[in-house]
Amino acid sequence: MRIWRVGTFSMGFSLLFLGLVLLFSQVLELKLYQVMISWWPIILVVLGIEILVFLLLSKQEKPFLKYDFLSIFFVGILGMVGIGFAILSTTGIMEKVSEVLDQKEQTLDLPAFSQMLDGSVKRIVLKTEHQPITIEGTPSNELSMIGTYRATLLENEKIVEQAEDILSVKHIGDTLFIEVKELPRQRGPFDSYSSVSATLLIPSDRKLEVIGRDNNIQLKPRTLLSDWSIDSASEVSLHIEKDDDLSVSAKGVREVLGQEGEWKISEQEGTNENGYNNGYNRVKSATYQSGKGTYNIKIQNVYSIRLNAN
């Protein structure tokens, strides 16, 4: 006579039910953690029913429960996994993990921005962050921004909804202050990636002061009708025409590249952050002139400057 050990039926039913749930989850495209959270309580129900059925069908006056410990251990493991998923779900970790797994790198357009400048704006001060940026001169009085950004996002998600999310513009006196913000980044165990590729169109007849943050800056002044200055960037790439009426003066630069023989370069010993001469860290000063050199582009405190004159 075969002996009925409590737990055998529960394990068989649990495996059958789990297999069916996983099968339908693939067909219905359900998330695994949602499946594990929802199905595991059925294990306790089936095990309880099995014990009650055994007691009801047992013909002994005082029935003695016999357990299949291996089956119950296996059922317990499945139950603990389900409980673990449920606990993690209450903390929000599972939802966060699910979001991270659903994210993918996407490239989206930056919101369009434009602003007409009247005669009261004589100077523009542009503050940038670590992201690279292109600054291009325009003959019109319109200040505008175009570009794209790349980030790890969910489908149809946007982290830049409007121009104010990436650009801050304030008019104080005769100066227009512009700040290009960094994209939001999530830090911690679920770090996210984001980058910006933006181009700012600046009226060529307004004085421009750019404050970098060890980032790469591309300058395309075109027909320059005012003085521009760049401070505290990692690399400055300057694109000009050989017949432009401008001059370039660079100070505190480590590398001067492009247009060999047309730069006038002098070297001097640099100083460390405390102002002391370190004896080996040499910096350069360089000048370049095109035409009469009426308008000046001043560059200082950058690692390298590259000149491309066509």
Question: 165-198 pLDDT, tens per residue?
Answer: 889 999 999 999 999 988 876 554 555 667 888 9
User: Could you report how far apart the first and last alpha carbons of the chain are, in Å?
Assistant: 98
* Residue position matching structure tokens 């970790």: 93
The secondary structure of the chain in percent helix, strand, coil, rounded to multiples of 5, reads: 25, 40, 30
Ranges of the chain whose pLDDT falls below 70: 1-11, 15, 18, 21-22, 24-40, 43-44, 54-55, 57-72, 75, 78-79, 82-83, 85-103, 153-154, 185-193, 260, 268-281
Instruction: Kindly list the domain boundaries of the chain, sorted by start residue.
Output: 8-102, 105-309
Backbone angles phi, psi at 92, to 5 degrees: 90, 0
**What is the C-alpha to C-alpha distance for residues 189 and 93, in angstroms, rounded to an integer?**
11
Could you list the beta-strand ranges (E) of 66-162. Answer: 104-109, 113-116, 123-127, 133-138, 142-153
Distances (CA, A) of 103 to 67, 163, 190: 46, 24, 11
Q: What's the pLDDT score for residue 135?
A: 95
Structure tokens belonging to residue 74: 């296996």
Which tens digit of pLDDT belongs to each residue from 252-282?
A: 888 888 876 788 888 765 554 444 444 446 7
H/E stretch holding 27 reads helix 8-28
Backbone angles phi, psi at 223, to 5 degrees: -90, 95
Q: What's the pLDDT score for residue 141?
A: 93
Coil, strand or helix: which one is 225? coil
Cβ count near 162 (within 10 Å): 11
**What is the C-alpha to C-alpha distance for residues 67 and 73, in angstroms, rounded to an integer?**
10
Question: Quick one: DSSP state of residue 7?
Answer: T
**What is the C-alpha to C-alpha distance for residues 120 and 84, in angstroms, rounded to an integer?**
64
8 A C-beta contact, residue 281 and residue 253: no
HSE at residue 107, side-chain half, CA atoms within 13 A, is 5
Structure tokens belonging to residue 5: 């050990």
**Sign of the four-CA dihedral 142, 143, 148, 152:** negative
Cβ count near 132 (within 10 Å): 17
Per-residue b or e along 102-112, where b marks 16 or more CB atoms closer than 10 Å to that residue's CB: ebeeeeeebbe
Coil, strand or helix: which one is 1? coil
